Amino acid sequence: MLLDGTRLPLPEGSAAEEAVQVWFTAAKKAERGLARVAELEAELVRERAAWVKRAAQEAEFLAPELPPARQPRGKGGAPGASKGKGTTRMQGGEGKRKDGKGTAFRSVMIDGFEVLIGKGDAENDQLTFKVADNLDFWFHVASVPGSHVVLRNPDKLSELPRHVLERAAELAAYHSKARDGGKVEVHMARIADISKPRGFAPGKVILKKWIGLRVYPKP
């Protein structure tokens, strides 16, 4: 018997019609297998392209061209004190950090990096637009009300350790309406990429550039 130009032997004891059916079934299985291989290869190409795109976005985010960093402002609009002044340390590395207007933000230390956490819309605005510097990192859970969380970057580093960024994101997820859920997306942006148009409600902002981190809420 010939199949696609190839001579195939008939199985012993089978009629010609039965043999044709046997080889036809085998050929269809092989055809389906080749189609599945092609699908898997195409899926792999798409995943690689998505990974390359995301890596490029993160690289661009972590090394942006930013204007000169502004300093925290104290009383009378003067530049505020340096990092750490006015902070009372408590057990577990937590404390309260006061700005020039007496607003107390919760302060958490992560491997030497200070994290400030706002509470309420007015305090969130104060933290983001009056206390934080342009090169600080800002976190907020996506599409859910929550605290503004600022990871200080006094040395103006182009990037920070990944585990520090993820821990700050976990704090942002915990200090939100999503704290009792599972894994959530947290938006991370530089302060320089955050704006607040005139007329926006307290606590509402616009992000010019950001990346998402998927984390579980953790206190």
Tens-binned pLDDT, residue by residue, of the chain (219 aa): 545 555 656 555 556 667 667 666 777 777 777 777 778 788 877 877 776 666 665 555 554 444 444 444 333 333 333 333 333 233 334 455 555 455 568 999 999 999 999 988 999 999 999 999 999 999 999 989 999 999 999 999 988 999 999 999 999 999 999 999 899 999 999 999 999 988 888 889 999 999 999 999 999
Q: What angle do CA 170, 215, 113 make, to 5 degrees?
A: 35
In a shared domain, residues 57 and 82? no
In a shared domain, residues 46 and 96? no
Tokens linked to 182: 């599972």
Question: pTM of the prediction?
Answer: 0.57
In a shared domain, residues 25 and 80? no
Q: Is residue 70 in a domain? A: no
Res 13: pLDDT? 54
Separation CA 146–CA 184 (nearest Å):
13
Q: Is residue 24 in a domain? A: yes
| Residue 124 near residue 130 (C-beta atoms within 8 A) | no
Res 57: pLDDT? 58
Res 194: pLDDT? 94
Q: Is residue 67 in a domain? A: no
What is the total count of domains within the chain?
Answer: 2
| Residue 164 near residue 151 (C-beta atoms within 8 A) | yes
In a shared domain, residues 105 and 45? no
In a shared domain, residues 84 and 121? yes
Res 20: pLDDT? 63
In a shared domain, residues 107 and 182? yes
| Residue 115 near residue 150 (C-beta atoms within 8 A) | yes
Domain's final residue, options 62, 87, 110: 62
In a shared domain, residues 55 and 118? no
Tokens linked to 213: 């981190």
| Residue 187 near residue 140 (C-beta atoms within 8 A) | yes
In a shared domain, residues 45 and 119? no
The parent domain of residue 20 ranges over 2-62
In a shared domain, residues 34 and 137? no
In a shared domain, residues 13 and 106? no
Residue 194, SS3 per DSSP: strand
Residue 149, SS3 per DSSP: strand
In a shared domain, residues 93 and 173? yes
Residue 52 burial (10 A CB sphere; 0-12, 13-18, 19+): exposed
In a shared domain, residues 85 and 167? yes
